[in-house]
């Protein structure tokens, strides 16, 4: 299945409610540190909003809730792989995207036959403290050669101007977070992203 080339990441269902009507077709819900009952509500709301707008929802980290709530796609970081029940995830038919930063992580991820591989941060990012420095677009080209037909996501410090270079280097999809959420006009920014990536 083809993934849309634009992949925004939001930390609440409110963002989805606000921006999915603009035509987003692939979105990640990435929430950190929230009581489980509220978290479950957020994931349910996001799932229902995505159904309504014919958008693919990817739930970050919380694979067990994603399973319970009949979501169909999860994103796992390398630490998540340590305790995720991949067998249960696969037998429930969930698709899986996995974060990678170096060759060892890439090999570990590819052994699980993921539905996409994410590489980042491509550029410096203000979003989270990372032990990984910027990877650069050249690394996308290396990853492209190593992963065959598996979709490749470029993430970290991405904006519309940088997207073209990421696509040229081999990315199938570009992911954006703060370029939208910190923008003075997120709606206009999403429209511009959609125009640039479709």
Residue 156: give its domain's CATH number: 3.20.20.70
Domain extent, residue 38, equals 6-197
Longest C-alpha distance within the chain, in Å?
A: 43
In a domain, 162, yes or no: yes
pLDDT at 193 over 80: yes
In a domain, 1, yes or no: no
The model's pTM is 0.95
Q: What residues have CB less than 8 Å from 153, skipping those under 6 apart?
A: 7, 97, 116, 117, 118, 119, 120, 171, 172, 173, 174, 175
Kind and range of the H or E element at 196? helix 186-197
In a domain, 52, yes or no: yes
153: exposed, middle or buried (C-beta count within 10 Å: 0-12, 13-18, 19+)? buried
Active site residues: 30, 99, 128
pLDDT at 127 over 90: no
180: exposed, middle or buried (C-beta count within 10 Å: 0-12, 13-18, 19+)? buried
In a domain, 26, yes or no: yes
Q: What residues have CB less than 8 Å from 155, skipping those under 6 apart?
A: 7, 9, 118, 119, 120, 121, 122, 174, 175, 177
3-state percent helix, strand, coil for the chain, nearest multiple of 5: 45, 20, 35
pLDDT at 128 over 60: no
In a domain, 189, yes or no: yes
Predicted local distance difference test score (pLDDT) of residue 124? 83
What does pLDDT average to over the chain? 95
* Residue 119 in tokens: 């590489």
- pLDDT tens-digit profile of 28-82? 999 998 999 999 999 999 999 999 999 999 999 999 999 999 999 999 999 999 9
Domain count, the chain: 1
pLDDT band at 125 (very low <50, low <70, confident <90, very high): confident
91: exposed, middle or buried (C-beta count within 10 Å: 0-12, 13-18, 19+)? exposed
């Amino acid at each position: 299945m083809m993934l849309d080339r634009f992949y925004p990441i939001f930390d609440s269902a409110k963002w989805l409610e606000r921006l999915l009507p603009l035509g987003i077709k692939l979105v990640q819900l990435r929430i950190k540190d929230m009581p489980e009952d509220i978290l479950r509500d957020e994931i349910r709301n996001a799932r229902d909003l995505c159904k309504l707008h014919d958008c693919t929802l990817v739930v970050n980290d919380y694979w067990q809730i994603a399973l319970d709530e009949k979501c169909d796609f999860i994103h796992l970081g390398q630490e998540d792989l340590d305790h995720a029940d991949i067998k249960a995830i696969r037998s429930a038919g969930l698709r899986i995207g996995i974060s990678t930063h170096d060759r060892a992580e890439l090999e570990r991820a590819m052994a699980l036959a993921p539905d996409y591989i994410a590489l980042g941060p491509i550029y410096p990012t203000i979003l989270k403290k990372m032990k990984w420095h910027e990877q650069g677009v050249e690394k996308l080209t290396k990853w492209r050669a190593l992963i065959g037909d598996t979709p490749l996501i470029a993430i970290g410090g991405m904006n519309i101007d940088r997207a073209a270079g990421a696509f040229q280097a081999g990315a199938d999809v570009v992911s954006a977070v703060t370029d939208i959420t910190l923008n003075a006009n997120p709606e206009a920014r999403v429209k511009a992203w959609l125009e640039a990536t479709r």
